[in-house]
Amino acid sequence: MLAPDLTLASDYFALLHVPRTQAQDVAVLDAHFRELQGRVHPDKHAHATTADQRLAMQWATRVNEAYQALKHPLARARYLLGLLGHDVAVETNTAMPPEFLMAQMELREAVEDAQVGAGDTAIRQLETLLDQLHVRMRAEQAELVRLIDTNHDYAAACDLVRQLMFQEKLRDEIDAALDRATA
């Protein structure tokens, strides 16, 4: 079904035949996923034995999990740092730099203020906040590549991952506010 050197326990990078790095060519990742998914999809094994069908289902699930983890930069960073022996410790390490927390509070207040407004003005304010947040997150995702792939500064990368998770939550809140404003 797959290369003999791959097992269900293979790491996601090996499974999808991509380098074990934070920087990824998403087009290559997508192509490898589609090719692999085509080989292991349970429908291709519908006439196989029950054991082979079950194995195909396990492989398809594993390939999907790998793809989901590697296609998103933040999920990829968490997974890669874990492989490298560095737990992001989201549940236990909530320490954040004071300037980051202040900036987050200001952004949240701006979101709340925009939601108080009405109509097109509120929508424009929320869209502007979202655009600013996206710019910042893209820059920090590029910084993650540098910290992990170039500098091997995994402790700083873990800190940045925690900050990005905070920002993803804020992004989701802004998206929800935009949905409400445009409904």
Give Cβ neighbours of residue 62 (< 8 Å, ≥ 6 apart): 8, 15
Rounded to whole angstroms, how far apart are CA atoms 16 and 182?
39
**Cβ atoms of residues 143 and 160 within 8 Å:** yes
Domain annotation for the chain: domains and CATH numbers: 12-71 (1.10.287.110), 98-182 (1.20.1280.20)
DSSP string covering 1-26: ---TT--TTS-HHHHTT--SSS---H
pTM of the full predicted structure?
Answer: 0.88
pLDDT in tens, the chain (183 residues): 555 566 888 899 999 999 999 999 999 999 999 999 998 888 888 888 889 889 889 999 999 999 999 999 999 999 999 999 999 887 777 788 899 999 999 999 998 888 887 788 889 999 999 999 999 999 999 999 999 999 999 999 999 999 999 999 999 999 999 998 887
